[in-house]
Amino acid sequence: MKLSLGKSLWDRLPHTRMVKKVVGDLAGARARQELLGACGYAKRPEGLATRLGVELERHLPLNTSPEAVAEFGRYFDQLNVQTLALVEAREPLPRLDASIPASQVELAPSQWRRLWPWLGGQRFLRLARAHLVGRDAALAAALAASLSDFCRFNPPLMGPAWASAGLMATRSLNWLLALRMVGDPVRLGAEVVVSVLMHLALVGQVLAEDLAQAPGRAAPAAALLLLGRSLPFLPQAEQWRSQGQAKLLEALATYGRPGPARPTRQLGLDTHWAALAGWALGRDWARDHLGETLAPLALACRSLAEPWGTGRGWGYDPVRSVLEFDSTGEPLFGPGANLAAVVLGQARLRAHRRVDEGLFWLIGPEAAEWLRQLAGGGDPGAGDLPGAGLSWLAAEAGGRKVGLRLCSAPRQAAGPGWGARSLDLSVSLDGQPLLALPGPPAEGPLAGVLDARAAHSVVRVDAREPGPGQVRVEGLESTDNHLFISLAFDGYVRLPDPVNLRRRVHLDRRRGVITVVDQLSAGSRHQVELLFQLPPGARARPLDQGGLELGGDFGRCHLAVDQACRVEVLQGRTDPALGWRSTREGQTVPSPVVRLVTRQVGDVTLTTVFTPLP
């Protein structure tokens, strides 16, 4: 069952005969017999199914003991879990268009969202978890039917199920964990188990070749490592484990070097994937191999997660999260940071004390005690992660937990999409947004607006988008009294009068005051706009003594603005678009934006001060 993903294969696949031949070679009766023989179980599918259960119990140390299952209801809504699973079990598997090669699949974000529970394996994982805690006969039957139908209607390399390495990686992990929750895979039916193993074996081959051609990605690497470890009876298992480990360490190391920036969302995903690999291989392995590369990523995630940050990330990805037990979506940064803190034993990485469901099954009810023992890690402080294009300041300041995130991408020349976000500032107070991120990209007429400079808390020059440029981190300080960062951006040097921007942000740890100083170096007259994007539902009220009082879920905050500027508060303007946020994928809502405007000749310095109020 060898696989070679050359371009010539994709070119030939649209022909009907080639499609049938490829599917037959990789998933037909002959392929099943070859798999059984290669694993040492020729004509004995029951034996292979039993072996799978034994290996998963050894290599995926989920805590599915009766004691853990009995404790589940203390932490989560068990009745709701089972009710939703029964509803999901009755939903028919969508008939995907598997008549075209995966490389030619083109789906809109809304289509990916609709198909994600099936394609990413969340549906099967949720059914297995509900069956484990409730032992419902209807769920037991739905488990086998779900896997059997998926394998039958998604032939190898055809259709959306095979369109993304990240998608296949997530599905393989969710299937492995779900099979582990089932306990004895034989109860699903030996033939179903063989079909699943054929599917996983092919995913492993695809991921191995994909990593050889395009390294530097944590999800496929970690998934390949876990496949190799969990399925040692496959001939390629040891090779997969070795390749996955090497590629995972390589992917994590790139975050410490300037390069093409990754979306903030990917930082959360990669941190969680690496922490899962550390959990599966053991804490000793994690400390020896992941300590230096994973810890900086987890610390960045901690600064973005509650209670320091809002827990939201920029950048669309159909692979929304790693472990997704909740159909409405799991938090993006906290789970990875907490799991990394547990496997590395480092208190400074712990985001919060709340036990998410992934951590519950990975560690067991004692996860709450493990997190409690990791208390006292101090503030996240000031940090910088070049590969993520992210710098942050986070500390207890003025009696509140204050988190600031600056987009410092690109560190290398990049297109205007990244330039639009460069120097973007988001601020949260006690985990509630004060200056908000645009949110995940939308669809429809505002789709492009959320990826334009007007959607960020930035400086605009002459109402123009910047060209390709670079961001330099000029200073980063963390003391007992303050946190400070200085960033410079040269995205406007191609104007007839070249302009350089510098943004300096200072956090007074004693008073909680945030000072933002924006400097523009130029030789002629320019219109300079300073935008501060507030979250939906926030209020901005002018004060008699000058400035604005801001109010919302974050509490109250006084905003002192530069006297040289004209101050406007806008909300939901559409022509041109200004004052819009995306609260979820595909949805936009109006929100306030504070706009400061000035026209000056030569160098300009604008100082803005945010003072949180009691």
Asked if residue 18 has pLDDT above 90, the reply is no
The verdict on 474 and 596 lying in the same domain is yes
What tokens were used for 612? 């949180």
The verdict on 420 and 484 lying in the same domain is yes
Domain interval for residue 584: 386-613
Q: How many structural domains does the chain have? A: 2
Q: How much of the chain exceeds pLDDT 70, in percent?
A: 95
- Which pLDDT belongs to residue 445? 81
pTM of the entire predicted model = 0.93
What is the tens place of the pLDDT at every residue in 219-244? 999 999 999 999 999 999 999 999 99
Residue 525 lies in a domain: yes
Residue 343 lies in a domain: yes
Where a domain ends, among 349, 378, 407?
A: 378
Where a domain ends, among 330, 345, 378?
A: 378
How many Å apart are CA 309 and CA 8, to the nearest integer? 47
The verdict on 445 and 367 lying in the same domain is no
Average pLDDT, the chain: 89
The verdict on 499 and 393 lying in the same domain is yes
Q: Which whole-number Å values give the CA distances from 256 to 259, 386, 411, 458, in the listed order?
A: 9, 6, 12, 25
Residue 344 lies in a domain: yes
The verdict on 352 and 392 lying in the same domain is no
End-to-end Cα separation, the chain, in angstroms? 66
Measure the CA dihedral 43/49/54/56, to 10°. 130
The verdict on 364 and 454 lying in the same domain is no
The verdict on 585 and 436 lying in the same domain is yes
What is the tens place of the pLDDT at every residue in 166-176? 999 999 999 99
The verdict on 366 and 396 lying in the same domain is no
Query: Is 395 within 8 Å of 381 (Cβ atoms)?
Result: yes
Mean pLDDT over residues 107-121, rounded? 85
- Which pLDDT belongs to residue 39? 92
The verdict on 395 and 353 lying in the same domain is no
How many Å apart are CA 410 and CA 423, to the nearest integer? 10
**Cβ-proximal residues to 129 (8 Å cutoff; 6+ apart), any chain:** 81, 85, 178, 181, 325, 361
Where a domain ends, among 378, 405, 429?
A: 378
What tokens were used for 56? 């998963």
Residue 95 lies in a domain: no
| Residue 279: its H or E element | helix 264-281
Query: Is 458 within 8 Å of 425 (Cβ atoms)?
Result: yes
CATH number, domain of 394, equals 2.70.98.70
- What is the band of 9 on the pLDDT scale with cuts at 50, 70, 90? very low
Residue 270 lies in a domain: no
Residue 30 lies in a domain: no
The verdict on 304 and 390 lying in the same domain is no
Q: Which whole-number Å values give the CA distances from 461 to 312, 467, 606, in the listed order?
A: 28, 12, 13
- Which pLDDT belongs to residue 14? 46
Residue 121 lies in a domain: no
The verdict on 370 and 390 lying in the same domain is no
How many Å apart are CA 503 and CA 602, to the nearest integer? 17
Mean pLDDT over residues 578-589, rounded? 85
Residue 148 lies in a domain: no
Task: Check residue 464 and report its DSSP letter.
Answer: B
The verdict on 371 and 401 lying in the same domain is no
What is the tens place of the pLDDT at every residue in 38-63? 999 998 999 999 999 999 999 999 99
